[in-house]
Amino acid sequence: MASFQGDQVTVAGAGALGLCIALALSRRGFAVTVLDPAGPGDNASGVAAGMLAPVFEAALDPLSGDHLDLLRAARDAWPDFAPIALDRTGALWRGPDAAGMEARLDALGAQWRRTPEGPFTDEDWRLDPGAAMTVLYAHAARAGVRFETRAAGDAEPGSLVVATGAGGAVLAPELDRLTPIKGHILRVAGGPASGPVLRGEGVYLCPDPAAAVLGATMEAGRDDLRVEADQVAGLLRLGESLWPGISALRARAETGVRAGTPDGLPLVGPSARPGVFLAVGARRNGWLLAPLVARSIAAYLAGEDPGPHAARLDPRRFDDEEESA
């Protein structure tokens, strides 16, 4: 039996990252308690679109362009991680300049094909965040994880894993490096019910029989949850390019706040504060990255190799910049 059997770990935060980490740790024999003052899903993870989209994220997000390998590895960690339905229908470019997008996809080495509607990839998947959280909670509870509805303090028993998204500032010094990025997202009744995710410049539309998901704004430096009419109107305007007539449909707006680092990748690994481990800053790809981050954190706590991507995610990677600033 591993020597860490029964070792106590407190996980601060019950978003996608915290829940996946709790599950991964409990499977390795740690005694895990998850703390969160908010209700289930009352966080960025709960409002997200749930795209697991290495290809179009690498193609469209300048900070993700160099990380297609890591994003693919993160997607590929999902199928064995938990019995969560993964929609593998794929994603279709419906923005301007299809030829330019085809060249970008080729340059990335993405798998795609030309269709009459635009370049299409089946490398990008999707999950339903609400359903995924339900499964993650149930499996974690069954594996013995305890949940408490309160904020973590700086004197929790055992090791502390900080998975507090854009919150939790007092728990570790590195959290100062995070920038909040507010996002508006719309649930639209009567939009596409099935088919690939439609991607455009600064906008996407995820088909769903209950309500299609139109997202999402990236408002750096903002950490409030107020719904703003001009942001909603802007999203609907962009949405017209993907699904003409969408702005006349009934839409419910939601907001969430992601946490971002200067290079767009999360901070995953030991904090400068002894006994504390970080799993924060997943920005616009927290669902995509969650199982990969969880396995890496479990390996750190077990004293094992945290995997081939650990250096790129190491919380200390910005230390030199700070010293020379």
Ligand X SMILES: Cc1cc2nc3c(=O)[nH]c(=O)nc-3n(C[C@H](O)[C@H](O)[C@H](O)COP(=O)(O)OP(=O)(O)OC[C@H]3O[C@@H](n4cnc5c(N)ncnc54)[C@H](O)[C@@H]3O)c2cc1C
Q: Contact residues for ligand X (CB under 6 A)?
A: 12-18, 35-38, 43-45, 47-51, 151-152, 163-165, 167-168, 183, 185, 215-216, 256, 258, 280, 282-288
User: Whole-angstrom distance between the N-terminal and C-terminal Cα of the chain?
Assistant: 47
Q: How far is the CB of 304 from ligand X (least distance, A)?
A: 23
**Alpha helices by DSSP H, 49-95:** 54-60, 68-76
100-106: Cβ within 8 A, 24+ apart: 101/59, 104/59, 105/55, 105/59
Nearer to ligand X, 102 or 228 (CB): 228
Residue number with CB closer to ligand X (45 or 261): 45
Question: Is the CB of 165 or the CB of 207 nearer to ligand X?
Answer: 165
Nearer to ligand X by Cβ, of 17 and 110: the residue is 17
Smallest gap from residue 45 Cβ to ligand X (A): 3
Residue 286 CB, nearest distance to ligand X (Å)?
A: 2
CB of 41 to ligand X, least distance (A): 8
Length of the chain: 325
Q: Tokens representing 215?
A: 């997202």
Q: Are strands 118-121 and 276-280 parallel, antiparallel or unpaired?
A: unpaired
Shortest spacing between CB 140 and ligand X, in angstroms: 13
Nearer to ligand X (CB atom), residue 110 or residue 132: 132
274: exposed, middle or buried (C-beta count within 10 Å: 0-12, 13-18, 19+)?
exposed
107 close to 59: Cβ distance less than 8 angstroms: no
- Would you call 142 helix, strand, or coil by DSSP? helix
